[in-house]
Structure 1
Amino acid sequence: MTCSNSSIVENEVVLPCTAVDLSGEADWIPCDAPSIMGESLRFVSGEPDGNRFRVRYYLNKEQQLRARIWFGPDTGGPPGHAHGGSIAAVLDEVLGLNAWVAGYPVVAGNLNISFRTMLPLEKVVTVESWIVSAEGRKVMVHGRVCSGDTVYAEGECLCITIPGR
């Protein structure tokens, strides 16, 4: 067993060396948002101890969905940084789940991502999301991936409600 780059290699399986703190703010309430959709929604949040993403969801006092997410080594893109597709997947899940938590069963109709600065690997960030509007079957949700004053990416998702749900 060896340890390098914050990982332990044991029988060709890479295991993280350290625990990841995904604690929310003091006034945030833990929320098992993916359970709203059942076990099928687990692309981002499916491996709570894995080397890709680690996620914990919360609701803030305004009932807006927040997430603390660790981008592990398996989310890599440019050397030492998260792949843009991994950031997009996170925004897709969090923005869509925000709509579900608010009572809108949706799928993504259009997702626009603006990347602001590169996100280092093995960093815990906050994903903030909020519903901008709901009109007919269209629900517009915005969000951002940030840490302190640094915004790594922003997203806008036009969600479409699922008929009969």
Structure 2
Amino acid sequence: MKQVGEARDGAESLCPPIDLVGEPDWQPFDAPALVGASLRFVSGEPDGNRYRVRYYRDAHQQLQARVWFGPETEGPPGHAHGGSMAAVMDEVLGLAAWAAGHAIVVGNLNVSFRTLLPLETVVTVESAVVSAQGRKVLVEGRIRQGDTVYVEAQCLCITLPDQSPASRQDAR
């Protein structure tokens, strides 16, 4: 039996190129340069059949992403698995804190699923750092396409002692 992402001869069949272009006022953001190889789980295969992700900063310097949910993210037939959407929110919201200058780990991620997300759909993941008090950084975001909101999330991040994104880059 043929598996998703596998051609009849057993070789992997990649999906065609996906357009992940940002909005006109967005600037491309090099996420791996900021946090390194830790982005492997979600955005580690830029041409794969699971996710394809491109990061941007908007006019307000908030992190935005364009994400394609490929056939390997399937949960309910024809739709993205809730865990795949939660993984995207974990990466994007955590990275939003890093991009704002906070070296963090995610302490708590609350995800609210609003509607099913069809496979092979390009969506926008919006994020905003809402507050930073002491070691706690609160980031909110959502996955949407046009007026349709698929997921909303809140992420409580905890800063790592004695680290900053700048010092991490200097160590390389």
What's the TM-score, normalizing by structure 2? 0.89
- The residue type paired with residue 65 of structure 1 is L
- The residue type paired with residue 45 of structure 1 is S
Shift of 1:37: 1.1
Cα distance change of structure 1 residues 26 and 135 upon mapping to structure 2, 3 Å threshold: same
2:62 is aligned with 1:61: no
Distance 1:15 1:21 in 2: 18
Q: Report Cα offsets for 1:111-142 as digits up to 9, x if no partner.
A: 00000000000000000000110000000000
- The residue type paired with residue 76 of structure 2 is P
- The residue type paired with residue 154 of structure 1 is E
As a proportion of its length, which structure holds more helix?
2
2:38 is aligned with 1:25: no
Judge conservation of contact 2:17–2:47 (CA < 8 Å) in 1. Answer: no
**146-155 or 33-42, which moves further after superposition?**
33-42
Q: Report Cα offsets for 1:95-122 as digits up to 9, x if no partner.
A: 0000000100000000000000000000
Judge conservation of contact 1:57–1:67 (CA < 8 Å) in 2. Answer: yes
Distance 1:150 1:92 in 2: 20
Q: How does 1:15-94 map to 2 (within 5 A)?
A: 15-94=13-92
- Among residues 9, 28, 36, which one is paired with 2:7 in the alignment? 9
As a proportion of its length, which structure holds more strand?
1
- In the other structure, the counterpart of 2:169 is none
- In the other structure, the counterpart of 2:110 is 112
Distance 2:100 2:81 in 1: 29
- In the other structure, the counterpart of 2:148 is 150
Shift of 1:8: 7.0
Provide structure 2 residue ranges, at least 5 long, that are not aligned to the other structure: 164-172
Judge conservation of contact 2:53–2:65 (CA < 8 Å) in 1. Answer: yes
Q: Report Cα offsets for 1:47-70 as digits up to 9, x if no partner.
A: 000000000000001000000000
Distance 1:17 1:48 in 2: 11
- The residue type paired with residue 44 of structure 2 is G
Distance 1:25 1:46 in 2: 23
Provide structure 1 residue ranges, at least 5 long, that are not aligned to the other structure: none
Distance 1:130 1:58 in 2: 13
Runs of 4+ in 1 over 6 A off after TM superposition: none
Shift of 1:10: 5.4
Identity score, percent? 65
